[in-house]
A = this chain, B = another copy of it.
Amino acid sequence: MATTPQFPRVALIGLGLIGSSIAHAVRQLGLAGELVATDASTDVRARATELKLADRIATSNAEAVKDADLVIASVPVGVCAAVAQDIAPHLKPGAIVSDVGSVKGSVLRAMAPYLPDTVHFIPAHPVAGTENSGPDAGFAELFINRWCILTPPEGGDAAAVDKLAEFWRTLGANVEVMTADHHDLVLAVTSHLPHLIAYTIVGTADELEDVTRSEVLKFSAGGFRDFTRIAASDPTMWRDVFLTNKDAVLEMLGAFQEDLSKLTRAIRRGDGEALFEHFTRTRAIRRGIVNLGQETASPDFGRPHGPLPKAPEKP
């Protein structure tokens, strides 16, 4: 596709699900004059070369960011500080440095102290993903109609924010700007708490004495299987999310616990009216999400169904 690159050179650090998806989209849309990418893992770099994820696969972060106009670190939140320290001396003045982490306050605090004043540091979080990880999991369409939240530090350069916003919009995303602290509170409820609950219940089901694992798997279509998707997400990424957004997660968990106690009490007391009222209210939330284009309107997430078997023919 003959397009004007938005940046002469883009550098991607980390080629998991998000990094490799950005790589696919940048290449397909021709957004970079040159796309350079790297990953801490030798195996991932080798696979990225096979998959032709970038014009050039660099063997170090320093090499990758050299002369880059946009640098995006797609790494677990826990290693952001190390990456910032690593790349700082090699950054081109005027470059935009960003990330894709699910927590923003800690990323800001971890990376900012290392980065030189000559670059524009604008943390970002594309609220998109699948349960798969690694360089083979990425695809160019991942960000389409999803939201990307930018959390520029106070006094950040408005033109640089606009440029990064334009980049994400070109990838198909909607862009919203907010403070890092508010981001962390919002995502604690729309993402972190759901993951924690899913990880918990999947673990609970796996450790019961009276119900076998085989039974849990076989009868999972009753609802349980929905939870297993996000409980299959990358363990390193999610460990770091909970370690770095502890306060907001614990706050949301407190609210959840109160509500669970209320419903538990209604069950214990046989209060059908309270249950019915609650279950009716929650139904409306899904309609809102579907109407906003953030969820498919197809029943059961559009999961496929096989064709009816043939009935025995008349003799």
- A residues in contact (CB < 8 Å) with B: 1-4, 25, 28-31, 102, 127-132, 137, 139-142, 144-147, 149, 170-172, 176, 182, 185-187, 189-208, 210-211, 213, 215-233, 235-236, 238-240, 242-243, 246, 249-250, 252-253, 255-256, 259-260, 263-264, 266-268, 270, 272, 275-276, 278-283, 285-289, 292, 294-296, 299-315
The answer to whether B239 and A301 have CB atoms under 8 Å apart is no
Given A185-B211, A204-B252, A295-B220, check contact A144 B286 (CB 8 Å): no
Given A226-B230, A305-B142, A306-B141, check contact A280 B235 (CB 8 Å): yes
The answer to whether A231 and B283 have CB atoms under 8 Å apart is yes
The answer to whether B200 and A223 have CB atoms under 8 Å apart is no
Given A302-B301, A305-B141, A314-B4, check contact A196 B255 (CB 8 Å): no
The answer to whether B144 and A308 have CB atoms under 8 Å apart is yes
A141-B305, A235-B279 given; 7 more Cβ-contact pairs under 8 Å:
A189-B204, A191-B223, A191-B224, A194-B227, A195-B223, A202-B282, A253-B264
Sampled A-B contacts (10; CB under 8 Å):
A29-B311, A141-B307, A146-B221, A186-B216, A189-B208, A207-B259, A217-B292, A226-B226, A227-B227, A232-B285
- Number of identical protomers: 2
The answer to whether A172 and B309 have CB atoms under 8 Å apart is yes
Least Cβ–Cβ distance between A223 and chain B, in angstroms:
4
The answer to whether A236 and B276 have CB atoms under 8 Å apart is yes
Q: Which residue of chain B lies nearest to A128 when distances are taken between CB atoms in the complex?
A: B221
Least Cβ–Cβ distance between A75 and chain B, in angstroms:
16
CB-CB under 8 A from A131, the residues of chain B are 286, 299-300
The answer to whether A309 and B170 have CB atoms under 8 Å apart is yes
The answer to whether A294 and B220 have CB atoms under 8 Å apart is yes
The answer to whether B292 and A218 have CB atoms under 8 Å apart is yes
CB-CB under 8 A from A210, the residues of chain B are 182, 185
Given A218-B294, A219-B187, A308-B28, check contact A2 B204 (CB 8 Å): no
Least Cβ–Cβ distance between A236 and chain B, in angstroms:
7
CB-CB under 8 A from A294, the residues of chain B are 217-218, 220-221, 225
The answer to whether B286 and A232 have CB atoms under 8 Å apart is yes
CB-CB under 8 A from A225, the residues of chain B are 286, 289, 294-295
